[in-house]
Amino acid sequence: MPEKPQRIIEDILRRPDPAGYYVIVLRREDERDNVVYAILEKYRDEVMEETLGDIVVVRTKSRRIARDIAWLALKRGVLETK
């Protein structure tokens, strides 16, 4: 049974990494490249992003921004949950 959306978001926000950043992992697929770009465009100055092949790792110190990005990515099907 898939996890509930709220539970997935809570797991991401449960605790930051040792450097104090919340980490969100997004899937980047050819047909969804614009979706990832659109999600991150609003927060471009407030997040650090690193592209690793088909994965985009997003780091932010802001819990609110992490929640917003994770929620948008989950709704659009690009949040990596495995």
CATH value of 5-76 in 3.30.1370, 3.40.1710, 3.40.50, 1.10.10: 3.30.1370
What average pLDDT is seen over the chain? 87
DSSP type of residue 79: B
The predicted structure's pLDDT at residue 31 = 62
The predicted structure's pLDDT at residue 1 = 39
Angle at 14 between CA 74 and CA 79, to 5 degrees: 15
What's the average model confidence in pLDDT over 44-60?
91
Percent of the chain residues past pLDDT 70, beyond the cut: 91
The domain locations on the chain are: 5-76
What's the average model confidence in pLDDT over 60-72?
94
Instruction: Name the helix (H) or strand (E) containing 39.
Output: helix 33-41
